[in-house]
Amino acid sequence: MKFKMAALEKKWVLYDVGNSAFVMLVATIFPIYFNHLADQAGISSVNYLAYWGYATSICTLLVAILGPTLGAVADTKNYKKVIFSVCLGVGVIGCVVMGFISSWIWFLGIFILAKTGYSSSLIFYDAMLTDVTEPERMDIVSSQGFAWGYIGSCIPFVASLGVVLGAGKLGLGMQTSMAIAFLITAVWWLLSAFPLLRSYKQKYFVETTEHIVKNSFSRLGHTFKDIAKEKHILIFLIAFFFYIDGVYTVIDMATAYGQALGLDSTGLLLALLLTQIVAFPCVLIFSRLSKKISSTTIITICIAAYLGIAIYAYWLDTQLDFWILAVLVGMFQGTIQALSRSYFAKIIPAEKSGEYFGIYDICGKGASIFGTAFVSVLSQLTGNVNIGVSALSVMFLVGLLLFRKAVKANGQLTGN
């Protein structure tokens, strides 16, 4: 039977198309421009990779600190959309401003602001999943978001890439071409959010009280206590912390990794475009398979695949190696994120989705503090970026073992 999305589900998916353009820019063009600025300042390739990793770690630390509290406040009636809009605005404005920065350290500062806004907006966007669809539809709707996000983000990316690579023929300097690329992405991102902002209604919520922030802290404390008692949720979050740490580190540092290895910039960008194209059908195929062999089995397959990818990265040396890596990542990247999101949404209380997804985000994007910092420090200590990246295999192995334990605990709870 053909799956047909409702109007609100489509508008929710559309935002993924917009924010994925920012992700694509961060994964590709941002590091190349930062490499240009760093090179002008006389910074070595190893330190360039390290500074980029540290900036990413600061972003995720900020989200880890702010996420749970903002999530708890957002569960209050009519607050989720308001806080989502503020975070969206911070991200979009930061994206535009970066195009006018010529200092490498100021560029990193504005990047931290923009990426924090983006990551914070996703806490509330993910939490909206419980409001826009039903539990039995969550796997496919969540997967549709990632799938269309991957393919849709190719449109502004190709436009931006055309401006950057064709800067010479267009008579544009490096900074001007980058400013245009950042502006294209920011406008695309903002426009994709309008339909959701117009139509979204908070279906599950906590009633407004006189002391919203104080009561939100109180509810958040109770939520942490509840999670500590709910073994299946607690173990899943710990597992998620480890395996998604590796996934996000690969996303955040892929281009920087290739640049540090001295690979051709154009080839790197095209390889990462291929990742997006490969991801689109793979997410849809795996989401359909999840109905036949369960989403937990698919997640297990994806974690195991990433374990193999991390080990393969140790021998990565040529442009061809990077293209192979790009295809492999594209096959599993969207699916592991989409099904993890929908699996979590199904096992939490809907009226506390903001709080729970705030904590989920600590264990998700917050976890990449350790992944990016780990890769950065190990690369500097050894002088070998391959060793730093391949060490992520430890994260995937621990995540895999804990995830299977979480699934078993949930099965015991539900009687499955």
Would you call 213 exposed, middle or buried from its count of C-beta atoms within 10 A (0-12, 13-18, 19+)? exposed
Task: Tell me which H or E stretch contains 198.
Answer: helix 174-199
Q: Would you say 394 and 249 are in contact if contact means Cβ atoms under 8 Å apart?
A: no
DSSP assignment string, 89-131: HHHHHHHHHHTT---HHHHHHHHHHHHHHHHHHHHHHHHTHHH
159, part of any domain: yes
pLDDT at residue 213, rounded to an integer: 60
Question: How far is the C-alpha of 214 from the C-alpha of 333, rounded, in Å?
Answer: 38
Contacts of 38 (CB under 8 A, 6+ apart): 47, 48, 51, 104
pLDDT at residue 128, rounded to an integer: 87
pLDDT at residue 178, rounded to an integer: 92
Residue 255 to residues 247, 272, 387, 392: CA-CA distances in angstroms?
14, 8, 16, 16
177, part of any domain: yes
Lowest mean pLDDT among 114-118, 164-168, 223-227: 223-227
Residue 111 to residues 48, 98, 101, 226: CA-CA distances in angstroms?
15, 7, 10, 35
238, part of any domain: yes
206, part of any domain: no
- CATH number assigned to the domain comprising residue 70: 1.20.1250.20
215, part of any domain: no
Q: Residue 205: phi, psi to the nearest 5?
A: -160, 170
* Domain coverage including residue 152: 7-195+220-414
Per-residue model confidence as pLDDT tens digits over 92-123? 999 999 989 888 899 999 999 999 999 889 88
21, part of any domain: yes
pLDDT at residue 416, rounded to an integer: 43
84, part of any domain: yes
Q: Would you say 194 and 122 are in contact if contact means Cβ atoms under 8 Å apart?
A: no
Residue bearing the bigger pLDDT, 58 or 412: 58
327, part of any domain: yes
Per-residue model confidence as pLDDT tens digits over 347-390? 888 777 877 887 887 787 656 667 777 777 877 787 777 777 77
Count of the separate structural domains present in the chain:
1
Would you call 207 exposed, middle or buried from its count of C-beta atoms within 10 A (0-12, 13-18, 19+)? exposed
pTM for the whole thing? Answer: 0.79
